[in-house]
Amino acid sequence: MKSNRKVRKIKGKVISNKMKKTIVVVIERKFKHKTYCKYVKRSKKISVHDAQNKAEIGDLVECAESLKLSKKKSWILIKILKNKK
């Protein structure tokens, strides 16, 4: 049976690849503070499944939400957008 729900995708920067088949990606977002009307940065770290161990530290990657793979890992790597040079 096919699901019609839209898959969430995010872009982020790899900050760690020390685990087997897992990378840690940081996602940064900016929003305007309601009271002070200043732009504020917030970041979040997520664990992403990298089956081929291709991603390196500093790469810009695209990830998609999937079923839970482990306690903290529910995202999979789709593609590497920009390699670190």
Fold type of domain 18-82: OB fold (Dihydrolipoamide Acetyltransferase, E2P) (2.40.50)
Question: Is pLDDT of 1 > 60?
Answer: no
Closest CA relative to residue 74, chosen from 44, 45, 48, 43 = 48
The pLDDT assigned to 23 comes to: 98
Band of residue 2 on the pLDDT scale cut at 50, 70, 90:
low
- CA 58 vs. chain centroid, Å, equals 12
> Mean pLDDT of all residues in the chain?
94
| Tokens matching residue 62 | 């695209």
Q: For the chain, which residues make up each domain, given as ranges?
A: 18-82
Over residues 16-52, the pLDDT tens digits come to: 999 999 999 999 999 999 999 999 999 999 999 999 9
Question: Is pLDDT of 14 > 60?
Answer: yes
